[in-house]
Amino acid sequence: MPTVREAWLKLTTEPVIDPDLCICDPHHHLWYQTENPYELEDLCQDIAGGHRIVQTVFVESRKMLKKGVPPAMQPVGETEFVREVASRAASQSTIKVASGIVGFADLTLGAAVEPVLESHIEAGQGRFCGVRYTSTWNASPEIKSSSGQGILADSNFRKGFACLKKYNLSFDAWLYHPQLMELVDLARTYPDIPIILDHIGGPLGIGPYKNRRQEEFLEWKRNIGILSTCENVIAKLGGLGMELCGFGWDKLPAPPGSADLMKAFSPYFIECIERFGVDRCMFESNFPVDKRSYSYTILWNAFKRISKDFSISERHALFYDTAIRVYRLPKKV
């Protein structure tokens, strides 16, 4: 029986644009052991809309924790769980679900995080490729903070962060747009560690940022320009369906179409592409988080509309090649 959200999403449908374009979705979650699950079958149903998704990257949710081990080791359970899900998916489909796994490790442990990283790598059996440590913080009580202020500058965090190079792991950075300069400092301090900017840096549109779209866009644009000078930073283009961005699509009588999304996305995504270049940008779904605002099929249609005038090689970079290179995934599918 479809949920109310599924029924709402079906109010807006479109044929798939460019169905043969090869895609790696470099950012999705799987939610098990929760009241609002998003399991393998849910992901596969979304992917089945017609776009040619051939590989995906799972990004940590911190939901399938390992029991009976110290707290620092508990997130390794998620890597084990997702690896098993990926193996099950491989027996059912040609889509390589979770070719890459980005897990959580408490980098504030400093050098003591190394055994955790080693356990993730062992559990991933070739799939574990990076760490995400959420550093979202804002002074407003209307905006959720997941870490303390200035965590990216914390000395213990940086000792743990420095360990990523030893294991050839990348770092997914999730923060809000007023924090972008904090990431600039981290990237400049550790130029040899790849940093993936999630959701174009989380442009806020709620709380004190509500009704300030143009002013905040200009601040975001200025700091994105500075961040783009850090050659070790790669940008994920997506995530604007989250409530915190303030577009309010989830409150409409029917979901937006891809032309509507293109109009809203373009100023941000084109700016990123112009600054970083296609070899340091990748489109992402951020499902099921963004599913509150639009369907999977319409989202990728919007990405294809935005990039329709790009060259074939540029589109391949945005939809597949950059993700494969950055996350060190198998090139052959």
Q: What's the CATH number where 87 sits?
A: 3.20.20.140
Query: DSSP character for 9?
Result: H
| Domain membership flag for residue 180 | yes
| Residue 8 belongs to some domain of the structure | no
Q: What is the pLDDT of residue 4?
A: 64
Q: What is the pLDDT of residue 2?
A: 47
Domain assignment of residue 214, yes or no:
yes
pLDDT at 1: 36
190-231 confidence digits (pLDDT tens): 999 999 999 999 999 999 999 999 999 999 999 999 999 999
Residue type, 90: A
Residue 181 belongs to what domain range? 19-326
pTM for this model (two decimals): 0.96
What is the model's pLDDT at position 94?
86
Tell me the C-alpha to C-alpha distance, in Å, between residue 309 and each of 272, 306, 313.
Answer: 16, 8, 12
Whether residue 5 is contained in a domain is answered as: no
- Report yes or no on 13 lying in a domain: no
Is residue 293 packed enough to be buried (19+ CB in 10 Å), middle (13-18) or exposed (0-12)? buried
Residue 218 in any domain: the answer is yes
pLDDT for residue 5: 87
Would 219 be classed as within a structural domain? Answer: yes
Q: How many domains does the chain have?
A: 1
pLDDT of 35 reads 86
Residue 308 lies in a domain: yes
Q: What is the rounded distance in angstroms from the CA atom of residue 291 to the CA atom of residue 265?
A: 16
Q: Which residue shows structure tokens 């989380």? A: 202
pLDDT below 50 — which residues of the chain? 1-2
Q: What is the pLDDT of residues 156-165, one digit of tens each?
A: 999 999 999 9
